[in-house]
Amino acid sequence: MNTRTAVLYVCVDRVRPASKLPEERAIEEGVAFADGRGLRLVETITDPYGEPDPRNREGWQRVCQMAARGEITDVVTRWPAALAPESHHELRFREAEALAEYGVTLQYTWEPLAALGAAQ
């Protein structure tokens, strides 16, 4: 059986570190999502909110490097805003297309999107 390997990508709010609950929930949800789909998580990568272009974030750069090297088959994240805010929604499509060029699938764990299947 061919094992699919995934990275869990989480954007977190570093401005208000008083509560780690949103980050913890995103990670728990991502782990459960991967387990339920037979994905083996090889790493959890986080970036702080704030930079709208994912290509300017260190964590996302690492995700893309792993994709380019063929180390992962999937990227799991909570929802599209983790990649880019609504005001820069076109960047989400750019990143999904870039991952697809490496044969990597972008998947959202948020239930309404997860029900639709992998992001295209």
Q: What is the pLDDT of residue 16?
A: 58
The stretch 26-35 carries a mean pLDDT of 94
Widest CA span in the chain: 43
Q: What is the pLDDT of residue 17?
A: 57
Class of domain 4-114: alpha beta
Mean pLDDT score of the chain, rounded to an integer?
Answer: 88
**Residue 99 contacts residue 75 (beta carbons within 8 Å):** yes
Q: What is the pLDDT of residue 15?
A: 61
Q: Where are the domains of the chain?
A: 4-114
Measured CA angle at 81 (ends 80, 86), to 5 deg: 105
Q: What is the pLDDT of residues 69-107, one digit of tens each?
A: 999 999 999 988 899 988 999 999 999 999 999 999 999
pTM of the model: 0.87
Percent of the chain with pLDDT over 70: 85
Q: What is the pLDDT of residues 12-28, one digit of tens each?
A: 876 655 677 778 888 99
pLDDT at 36 over 60: yes
Give CA–CA dist 103/120, Å, rounded.
12
SS3 59: helix
